[in-house]
Amino acid sequence: MLKRRMSASSNVLLLLCVMYFITYVDRVNVATASGAFKAEFGLSNTELGLVFSIFAYPYLICQIIGGWFADRFGARLTLTVCGLVWASATILTGMAGGIVSLVMARLLLGLGEGATFPTATRALSSWLPAHRAGFAQGITHASARLGNAITPPLVVALIVLISWRGSFVVVGTLSLIWAIVWGLYFRDDPHQHKGTSAAERAALPASRGRKAKQPTPWGPLCRRMAPVIFVYFCYGWTLWTFLSWIPQYMLHAFNLNLKTSALFASAIFATGVAGDALGGFVSDRILRRTGNLRRARRDMVIFGMAGSLFSTIPLLFVHGPVLATLALSGAFFFAEFTIGPMWAIPMDVAPQFAGTASGLMNTGSALAAILSPMVFGAVIDATNNWSLPFIGTIGLMSAGCIAAFWMRPEDRFDAAPSRVMEPGIV
């Protein structure tokens, strides 16, 4: 008996899951390899910090530009070009000869990866009906968190086998292969893809996949997305606090050795994979059962943020690594629970401008990626209290819960009020 083939939309979702995984490997592999190239190039900690942080600046700038480009020219071209750029940047990192070439390679990586998530949202908006948007966003971001967890042992193994330079060349080559496969397989309009079935095409409005023809309504779209951007900034503050400082927090707050602190940190990060996948699944299930986008998206974001802030509060009082790990695991799980609903909102609100809208939203997290790690470090330097900075995450998650009430995923954005727009899917 022949096995049933995967549908074309499932293949697209799988390709995007692989992309999210690879981009996070390419993004965080520099931290694992830093010990090797720091010694080879004689870098100071300040120079090493520059190598780490420089990625975030072009990444921030390219969120909106990349999303707009995807809306105008399609996700096929945009992600193919992005893949070629970030693959080249990763390979060039392995060929660096010093601090200048390392920084240039990381800048190029930020340029290549800046447009990826907004463009992926544009692709998903074209290929999937609304009742699968939350699951798709959850599972793709779970793949990113999986990449974050797997990168350290993967890169260490490659360094042992072929040196730190070889590790970047191998990972960059995998990115290059992905970009070629995407360009050959994907089509912007699923109705024009030979592999889509009649059932898949029937589930999508005829307008899905069309590139935006009218000018982007920047002012109205920015105003419409403003509450979403702020809420995602609040989430991003917590995310980048965890990604940047949790290993150091476990190491210094409880005087653990490096191996033990790494185990506790890995346990915390593992909960994010489950939170991403479950949040998207629950959001879509609520949408299918109730037809209510407000309950399925906004209320799930509020639930996740509230769960994260209440899970974080015990950190101000606990005095042992086990209890701290339990609290942080709960906080990270609930924070990641919001991802599926949050990234589905641009698809619900403005499907024709999903790339631009999601790019606007992700600027919130990209800005937090610059500010949050610096503020955390400054507070530690000033107070030597490793629990105190988490007051900031509690406060911002509280602010996010409140601001989320102004998000309106059920109200379709109308760029031309005088025209009859495609009805929302409820």
Mean pLDDT, rounded, of the chain: 85
Half-sphere exposure of 345 (CA within 13 A, CB side): 32
Cα distance between residue 372 and residue 90, in whole Å: 25
The pLDDT score that the predictor gives to residue 298 is 93
Question: How much is the pTM?
Answer: 0.79
The pLDDT score that the predictor gives to residue 207 is 53
Contacts of 323 (CB under 8 A, 6+ apart): 314
Token readout for 212 is: 């935006």
The pLDDT score that the predictor gives to residue 314 is 92
**What is the DSSP code string of 178-238?**
HHHHHHHH--SSGGG-TT--HHHHHTS-TTTTPPP-SPP-HHHHHHHHHHHHHHHHHHHHH
The pLDDT score that the predictor gives to residue 258 is 57
Cα distance between residue 102 and residue 96, in whole Å: 6
Cβ atoms within 10 A of the Cβ of 139, count? 20
pLDDT tens for each residue of the chain, 426 residues long = 334 567 888 899 999 999 999 998 887 788 778 778 888 888 776 777 778 778 888 988 888 888 888 888 889 999 999 999 999 999 999 999 888 999 999 999 999 998 898 899 888 888 888 778 888 888 888 888 888 777 777 887 888 899 889 999 999 999 999 999 999 999 988 888 888 888 877 777 655 555 555 677 888 888 999 999 999 999 999 988 887 777 777 777 788 775 677 677 778 888 988 999 899 899 999 999 998 989 999 999 999 999 999 999 998 888 889 999 999 999 999 999 999 899 889 888 888 888 888 889 989 988 888 888 778 777 877 888 888 888 888 999 999 999 999 998 888 877 654 343 333 333
The pLDDT score that the predictor gives to residue 421 is 37
Half-sphere exposure of 265 (CA within 13 A, CB side): 25
Amino acid at 24: Y
Angle at 240 between CA 308 and CA 149, to 5 degrees: 90
DSSP 8-state code for residue 419: S
Q: Counting every residue, how long is the chain?
A: 426
Q: Kindly provide the b/e burial profile for residues 333-357, where b requires at least 16 CB atoms within 10 angstroms of the residue's own CB.
A: bbbbbbbbbbbbbbbbbbbbbbbbb
Cα distance between residue 410 and residue 402, in whole Å: 18
Phi then psi for residue 311, to 5 deg, are -70, -25
3-state helix, strand, coil in the chain (%, to 5): 80, 0, 20
Cα distance between residue 404 and residue 391, in whole Å: 20
The pLDDT score that the predictor gives to residue 426 is 30
Token readout for 113 is: 């990866």
Cβ atoms within 10 A of the Cβ of 327, count? 21
The pLDDT score that the predictor gives to residue 424 is 37
- Domains detected in the chain: 12-191 (1.20.1250.20), 217-413 (1.20.1250.20)
The pLDDT score that the predictor gives to residue 212 is 54
The pLDDT score that the predictor gives to residue 14 is 94
